[in-house]
Amino acid sequence: MDERSAEPGPASSGYPGDAEATDDFELAGVPDSFQRLWTPYRMAYVKGGQGQVKDEESCPFCRGPQRTDDDSLIVHRGETAFVVLNLFPYNPGHLLVCPYRHVPNYTDVTAEETAEIAALSQHAMRALSATANPTGFNLGMNQGESGGAGIAAHLHQHVVPRWGGDGNFFPVIAQTKAVPATLSDVRKQLADVWDSV
């Protein structure tokens, strides 16, 4: 039997010297079944709380479509939903697909809105693949405050491009996320290829 597999707690990770340097008290960072995307750089936004959006007038997803695409970072406008860059991206090219209507839950959208949100999410993946060549994606909706929604009052689907090694020590140690392109440049690149993918 491999001696590493017999060691309790963190030492079972299999790294040389773990047994000598680590006790059996499992702390954060111990390997488990979860993959984590740490985003401490978003804390300034999160600390503002759900109180930032009080109504449709203070909702950035309601106000955005009233401005130009450049000003609001809108990549594409559909019939019932639109695609916008996340102002606080997890990764470069992090897109949000939002219905125009100010509704909080996935159960609140119509069949037409549901279909367009799904189609725009797929199209966003194709546009990101054409411009940035990601090796994977995270897609999802956080519902309600306890579900992790940054803006719980207005439904939005996340489309996050991923690359191998895109989570490095910067966010964890320095509370800094390196984003190698401006939001306006990313918006233009995606908008330019949108109709061709």
Classified as helix, coil or strand, 137 is: strand
Indicate the DSSP class of residue 112.
H
Six-digit token pair at 108? 């609140």
Six-digit token pair at 33? 């079944």
What's 86-100 look like in SS3? CCCCCCCCCEEEEEC
Amino acid at 63: R
Classified as helix, coil or strand, 193 is: helix
Q: Which of 76, 123, 156, 158 is catalytic?
A: 156
Determine whether 102 is an active site residue. Answer: no
- Give the list of residues 6+ apart from residue 29 with CB closer than 8 angstroms, or none: none
Classified as helix, coil or strand, 19 is: helix
CA distances from 99 to 33, 103, 114, 148, 163 (A): 34, 8, 9, 19, 28
Tell me how many degrees the CA angle 146-116-141 measures, rounded to the nearest 5. 15
Q: Which residues are catalytic?
A: 156
